[in-house]
């Protein structure tokens, strides 16, 4: 497998004054702060879906990002090539962790069995690259929101078959996480919420979500998966009301259903501001309640409601 980022070596710490765009100005991995290295304090993780699957799309255009290794052809083979590009990127960046959804790393098939086979094929390459580079899986997660079957939610879907399909995806992805030595497993709100109360039994859907998470917690124990389960508070995206609105709501829900022992929160900055809170508030609240797990360190624009940095501009792509 050839080099994907030729001419670029390991990214180094050069200090705040550096004008090199490919240098760290503040992150000095080996520097000790209060007796612990920055690497161990921060445990940076590359999000596979943003870094390798984001297209730069927005509601007004299908995207602008061009990646040299995305040449079409067989989707599983392309997925394996992408794994090589990703690990080269992470190795050069020097981040100790990464994380991914099942459907980021391997293509969805026509059936669950085919999707699982695709996942197994790609994971084989992933495992080899983990061994080669020492880069570790922070946590795994399942995409329970992109496929049309999930248009009305996964665990809160009124159709039991969708609930079952989602459970099967989580089961498989927990096994994959175990196999890769992942240090936790994450749940997103996805489409768990409602568009209108006129056709929604909020209490019943909320109870289904709790049951789903309880089953996942039991399976975690059964297979011996290490590390906590995470749940990420998220308002508005994309339903009118997302059940996991903010940290206080999720903590109340977890306690109500006896899930606060095994679950911790994964907090995202933009979700905090969308919910009307400062990010500091959400972190402080979760921390004081003993529920702070992980952090999704993006940022939102409070005037717009989203992060304009999501739309990268590549001048070479024009025309």
Residues that bind a copy of itself (CB under 8 A): 56-64, 145-152, 157, 159, 161-162, 165, 190-191, 195-197, 202-203, 235-241, 245-246, 248-249, 251-253, 255-256, 273-278, 280-281, 284-285, 288-289, 301-305, 308, 311, 313-315, 317-319
15 forms bridges with which residues in the sheet? Answer: none
CA–CA distance, 278 with 294 (Å, rounded to integer): 17
Shortest reach from residue 247's CB to a copy of itself, in Å: 9
Shortest reach from residue 287's CB to a copy of itself, in Å: 9
Quick one: 84 or 149, whose CB is closer to a copy of itself? 149
Quick one: 46 or 272, whose CB is closer to a copy of itself? 272
Active site residue 104: yes
Catalytic entry in 102, 104, 244, 296 = 104
Shortest reach from residue 223's CB to a copy of itself, in Å: 26
Using CA atoms, how far residue 299 sits from 40, 198, 230, in Å, is: 22, 34, 20
Shortest reach from residue 255's CB to a copy of itself, in Å: 7
Neighbours of 2 (CB within 10 A): 8
Quick one: 148 or 224, whose CB is closer to a copy of itself? 148
Quick one: 181 or 258, whose CB is closer to a copy of itself? 258
The C-alpha angle 119, 112, 123, rounded to 5 degrees, equals 5
CA–CA distance, 70 with 50 (Å, rounded to integer): 15
For residue 213 the two structure tokens come to 């998470």
Write the Ramachandran bin of 290: left for phi over 0, alpha for psi from -120 to 50, otherwise beta: left
Q: 58: Cβ–Cβ under 8 A, 6 or more apart, which residues?
A: 310, 311
- The closest alpha carbon to 311, from 21, 57, 68, belongs to 57
Quick one: 129 or 277, whose CB is closer to a copy of itself? 277
CA–CA distance, 45 with 11 (Å, rounded to integer): 15
Catalytic entry in 50, 58, 84, 101 = 101
Active site residue 41: no
Shortest reach from residue 199's CB to a copy of itself, in Å: 9
Q: Is 139 within 8 Å of 182 (Cβ atoms)?
A: yes
Burial of 81 (0-12, 13-18, 19+ CB in 10 A): middle
Active site residues: 101, 104
């Amino acid at each position: 497998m050839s080099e994907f980022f030729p001419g670029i070596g390991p990214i180094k710490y050069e200090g705040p004054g550096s004008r090199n765009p490919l240098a760290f100005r503040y992150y000095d991995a080996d520097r000790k702060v209060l007796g612990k290295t920055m690497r161990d304090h921060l445990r940076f993780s590359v999000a596979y879906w943003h870094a390798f699957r984001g297209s730069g799309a927005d509601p007004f255009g299908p995207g602008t990002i061009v990646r040299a290794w995305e040449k079409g052809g067989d989707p599983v083979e392309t997925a394996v090539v992408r794994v090589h590009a990703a690990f080269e990127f992470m190795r050069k960046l020097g981040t100790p962790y990464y994380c991914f959804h099942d459907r980021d790393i391997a293509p969805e098939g026509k059936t669950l069995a085919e999707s699982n086979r695709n996942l197994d094929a790609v994971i084989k390459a992933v495992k080899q690259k983990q061994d080669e580079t020492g880069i570790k899986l922070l946590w795994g997660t399942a995409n329970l929101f992109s496929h049309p079957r999930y248009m009305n939610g996964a665990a809160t879907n009124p159709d039991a078959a969708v609930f079952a399909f989602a459970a099967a995806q989580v089961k498989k992805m927990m096994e994959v996480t175990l196999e890769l030595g992942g240090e936790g497993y994450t749940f997103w709100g996805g489409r768990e919420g409602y568009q209108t109360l006129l056709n929604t039994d909020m209490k019943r859907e909320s109870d289904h979500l709790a049951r789903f998470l309880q089953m996942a917690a039991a399976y975690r124990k059964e297979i011996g998966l290490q590390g906590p389960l995470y749940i990420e508070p998220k308002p508005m995206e994309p339903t009118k009301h997302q059940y996991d609105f903010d940290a206080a709501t999720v903590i109340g829900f977890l306690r109500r259903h006896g899930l606060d022992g095994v679950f911790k929160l994964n907090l995202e900055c933009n979700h905090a501001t969308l919910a009307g809170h400062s990010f500091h508030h959400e972190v402080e609240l979760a921390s004081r309640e003993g529920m702070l797990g992980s952090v999704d360190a993006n940022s939102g624009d409070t005037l717009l409601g989203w992060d304009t940095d999501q739309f990268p501009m590549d001048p070479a792509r024009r025309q």
